[in-house]
Structure formats: structure tokens, C-alpha cells
Chains A and B, each alone.
Chain A
């Protein structure tokens, strides 16, 4: 009964953190708003072997479980990385491995092609400039060659995370239902992990700000209303965190309660992330409301992700069913 990362896992997560701290600065996110894909970041990510994190070592992957990837994706969220890393790691690569699509898997692993995915049946595809996208069609997974289809781009709340629709037919992949279910859960869990990192970073930025911003002769962070508001954000994050980590373990182990745990994590972190965005904005006052100030990049990402891979209330409904309530 141990709930935490071991030292090896902490090293992996730390390496991801250091890499992203180096090559995913706010400027990279703003460049993405301007339509630029973070190529250099993606190359580094590929060099680390990260795309095939969940793929077995026998198939040139890293043989990690969702436990390692949840830690990595928390960092991806922390740095608001504007690229389909979550989709690649938790969804695309395991699906390609299970479907025995070795050429595609190799190409994704080598960074020769960029892949994305969305299983929430919304019709939206994030990062539609990717080469391939995996979506659900009925109970099956469809692979779409994005360069051969026409994509309608949407104006979205988060310009760094482009979203589009396509009418391309694609081709169905031969997959077991359990594999598809696991990939769907991987996407939901991955979203939860990113939201966790986003919430933490918004809180950190805010704490740093309210320590130095002075009004009425003292730091605004010394006022109890501000302190309590931010304390509430931390409490919600820290009580959602173990749900996210525990879900990564259940899903890795194929536990019978895996779906319940993943869905629970997603609902809990949704509340924490929404409150984080709102409270952090409020604690910044007027400056938080400008897009020149970096907080906006994180807030918008959190709202976009919160709408993806199922909304919080859809997951809550599902949780209600699973709990028999």
C-alpha cells in the first residue's frame, strides 16, 4: 500500500521537467498562438524516446506504465506544452502497437510523423496539422491521414492548441474492445494529469505575484482573503492529486475499478483546475485579465482541456453509474 513515485520514476519525471523548462517557455506557447508548431521541442521529446513511453521494449518502446506517464504529463501540463504529447503517449502509440501498425509506430517514434487523437466523439481534432489523427467511429478506432483531408479550423478559446474538424473517411484499425477502452481511459487520465500540472503552475505564478505586488503599503498576498482563497486552491489540488496518481496505478494494473478511478480523478481535477484559474485570475486583479500577461496562456489551456476527452459532468454521470448511486 504505497502511494507515491519511487526514485526511478522521480528521475524520469524530473528529466521531463528539466527538458520542458528549457524548451517550452511562454514564448513557445505564444508562437503556437501565431500558428507555429514547436518543432524543436518535439524533436527533443522524440530524442528522449517519449512518444513510445507506453510501448513495450520489444517494440522499441520504453515499457513504462501509466504511472510514469501520468508524472510526465503533469509536467506537460505545468509547462502548457502546445503539442499533442498526451495524445501520442497515452493514446496513439499504444493503439498503433496493439493494431500492429509497425511502420506508423516507427514513424511516430522517430518523429517522422506527428500524430494526434480525440476519442470524445465531439468531432473536434486537436492539433489538426498533425500527419495522422485517431478518432472513434462507432465502437471502433479510425485512422485519418490528415494531410489528405480537408480540415476546417475552429476559432478556439486557446489559440495555442488549434482545433479543427475533418470529413475524411479514414480507415478502421483492427482492435480489441478492451484496447480501445484502455486508450479512451488513457486520454481521460492524460487530460487529468495535464490539468493537474496546469493548476499547480497557475497557483505558483499567483503566489509569486502576490508576494511582490503591493497595495496599501503591503503585499496583497498578506491579506487574509487572498491567502484563504489561494489556500483553497492548494487544498483542492492536493486532494485531487492522489486521485490522479491512484488512477494511473489502477489503469496500469488493469484493476476492476480502473474506470471508476480514472473518471473520479477527472472530475476532481476539473473542479480544482477551474477554481485555480478563477482564483488565480482574481488574485492578480486587472493585470491577470490581459493577454500580455502569461497567466492567460495557462488559463485558456485549462479551459480548453477541461472541455476535452469528456466534460466533467459527463464523467460525473458515468461515475454515478459506476458507483451504483
Chain B
């Protein structure tokens, strides 16, 4: 909890100095940075040892959808507080019965015409930082006759709404930040709907030329990890095999950095970053696991200690799972990029 508070304070300081949301419009606290400039900022941020941002789900996942589909009222109400770290947003995507198969979600929203809003019932799970967030965004089935990705509505929900209950539980890396979020007849008014009722799926799936469409994780993060790994190797008298793995990891990180540059070049040329983002996701997540496996190996007996590297290792194992499992990503690569038939 302490660490979370520290990071919030740091992020609030970043906002004051105009660094919280560099690519946003100036009216919302941004610097209107281009994609190139955003990449440079991220590289320097991680090089300087900047912490994992607790505002990231809001800033990188929700904000692009708000810019694309939100009303002016919603943008004015939500974005400045998000950028300032006053509201912390969690992504309420997965449900106990809907992980990879998000369209199988069953949480529902019942129209309450009289009060001008919706009554939410259901449950979201594995909600990162759910217990520490002030707001949550997620999809609810608003058309009871609907199936799969049809008839879903995108909601923006304050966590202190009556009927919303959060239960936190621990992640593998010991961080107590996962949460179940229960909705029991929780009423939200129409201003909590993003876009049109029933259009939730397409809003959630839309990727744009912003950093969200480009990549969830900027190369700067992994460059910084590799530097720390190289220092660790130096301090531990690495074997030839370990040094070989360190070189391979450098290649992974450098490839990712250049792949991102090539992708930005395409986006800047007006081309869409489509399913190539699946290549990107598999690559960074598995590269990160390999780097951390090497770290554990370099630590030798010290790998038994619960510290930055062992926690980082355990967290790296989440990478191939979140933001679409790597199995799903490989299916996308095979089906949409190679054109292979669905099963």
C-alpha cells in the first residue's frame, strides 16, 4: 500500500511538471507529443528508473477510447483527473467464466428508464490494482437476448457506487493487488456509458495509431531491464553460457526497439498497425521471461531471496498471460497474418 502511495505521489508530481500524459492534447495536461517523442520519453523514463505507473490502465487503455468515443462532457470530467492521478482506473475485463474468451462474459446491465441509467450485476476478476482503484471500466451485457460480442455496453464506473464491492487477493509475485469486483444491483446513470449502448465490443476492440494500438509496453522498459541484468552478470562472474544468454537477450531487446521504430514509421506513413501488434506482444513478453530466467540463474543460491529480481521474475510470467494470452496471439498471427484457416 505504501509503495502504491509513493507512486501516486510521484505521478502527481509528473503531472504538475507536464510529464504525466505527454501525447495528450494540451487542454488535458499533455504536450501533444508525437509517437516518436512518446517513445523517447518512455526510454528516458525507464532509463531513469521510473516506477511501473499505477495510472497506466487509465492512461494507456481507457483514454484512447475516451478520445475516440467519449462525449466532450465525459472527456472533460474524466481525463484531467485521470492525468493528475486523482482518479485511478482499473480495467474490469475478465470474469470467472470469461478470460481469453472475453465475449463469453455474463455480467449484465439492466435498463432503468425511470432513473435514466443501468443496474449492473455480475463479477469481474483478476482486476489489476482493482483494490486500489477509484474507478473501473468494463463491458456488461445490456441486451439480454444477445450472445457473444453483440449487445455489450462499455461502462465507466466509480468504485464507490453503492452495490460495488471489491475483494483483494494476492498475485503470484506477492503483490496484493488483484481483485474481484462484485456488482450487486449497482446503479449507474447514462453518463457512465461510453459510446452507444450495444457497441461495447467494437469500442473495446478498436485500436488506433496511438501508443495503445502500437504497444502495451514500450521498449524503454526492457532496455532498462537489460542494463540491470548486464550489471548483475558483471557482479556475478557470469559463465560463458550465461554471457551467451545475455547476448541473446540484448538481441531480443534491440529487435523489439527496432521493431517498434519500424511500426511507428508505418503508422506515421498512414498505415494501420493491425495484427502485427500480436507479434510484438509475444516477443516482448517472452523476451522478458527469458531475461528474468537468466537473472535467477545468475543469482544462484541468492535466487531464493524474495527481492526485486525474484519478484520481477514472477511478474514476467504474467506477461504471456495478460493483454491476450500468447496462445491467442499466436492464433491471431497464424490466422490474420498468415491466413491459415480457423480450427
A positions within 8 Å CB-CB of B: 1-4, 203, 207, 210-211, 218-219, 221-224, 226-228, 230-232, 234-235, 238-243, 245-246, 264, 267-268, 316, 319-320, 323, 325
Contact = CB atoms under 8 A, between A and B. Distances in A.
B255 A211 contact: no
Contact of A240 (B255, B264, B341): B255
Interface string B203-226: 000000000000000000000000
Contacts of B248: 316
Contact of B330 (A207, A228, A325): A228
B256 A239 contact: yes
B25 to A, nearest CB: 23
Contacts of B36: 1
A59 B24 CA distance: 52
Given A3-B261, A4-B262, A234-B279, A267 B251 contact: yes
Contacts of B258: 3, 242-243, 245-246
B108 to A, nearest CB: 32
B338 A239 contact: no
Contact of A222 (B250, B268, B269, B341): B341
A288 B4 CA distance: 56
A240 B248 CA distance: 12
A323 B261 contact: no
Contacts of A231: 282, 330-331, 333-334, 337-338
B243 A325 contact: yes
B330 A232 contact: yes
Nearest to A221: B340
Contacts of A4: 262, 265-266, 269
Nearest to B35: A1
Interface in B242-259: 243-244, 246-248, 250-252, 254-256, 258-259
B245 to A, nearest CB: 10
Interface string B304-326: 00000000000000000000000
B193 interface: no
B327 interface: yes
20 contacts: A1-B264, A3-B265, A221-B334, A227-B338, A227-B340, A228-B334, A230-B334, A231-B334, A234-B333, A238-B259, A242-B255, A242-B259, A264-B254, A267-B247, A316-B244, A316-B247, A323-B247, A323-B250, A325-B230, A325-B243
Given A239-B255, A320-B244, A320-B247, A207 B338 contact: yes
Contacts of B335: 227
A258 to B, nearest CB: 14
Contacts of B246: 325
Contact of B261 (A1, A227, A228, A325): A1
B334 A239 contact: no
B259 A239 contact: yes
B46 to A, nearest CB: 18
10 A-B pairs closest in CB distance:
A242-B258, A227-B334, A231-B333, A231-B330, A239-B255, A222-B341, A221-B340, A3-B262, A3-B261, A231-B334
A218 B266 CA distance: 36
A234 B248 CA distance: 18
A311 B76 CA distance: 59
Contacts of A323: 247, 250
Contact of B251 (A210, A243, A245): A243
Contacts of B49: none
Contacts of A240: 255
A242 B243 contact: no
Contacts of A224: 331, 343
Nearest to B337: A234
Contact of B340 (A2, A222, A316, A320): A222
B31 interface: no
Given A4-B266, A232-B330, 6 more contacts: A3-B261, A3-B265, A219-B341, A242-B259, A243-B254, A325-B250
Given A230-B334, A238-B259, A325 B251 contact: no
A228 B343 CA distance: 12
Nearest to A319: B247
Contacts of B259: 238-239, 242
Nearest to A237: B279
B342 interface: yes
Contacts of B282: 231, 235
A242 B261 CA distance: 9
A325 B298 CA distance: 14
B242 to A, nearest CB: 10
Contacts of A228: 327, 330-331, 334
A242 B251 CA distance: 11
A31 to B, nearest CB: 31
A232 B342 CA distance: 17
A205 to B, nearest CB: 12
B334 A268 contact: no
B279 A238 contact: yes
A123 to B, nearest CB: 27
B171 interface: no
B243 A320 contact: yes
Contacts of B262: 3-4, 241-242, 245
Contact of A230 (B233, B252, B256, B340): B340
B87 interface: no
B190 interface: no
B32 interface: no
Contacts of A227: 330-331, 334-335, 338, 340, 343
A221 B251 contact: no
Contacts of B233: 325
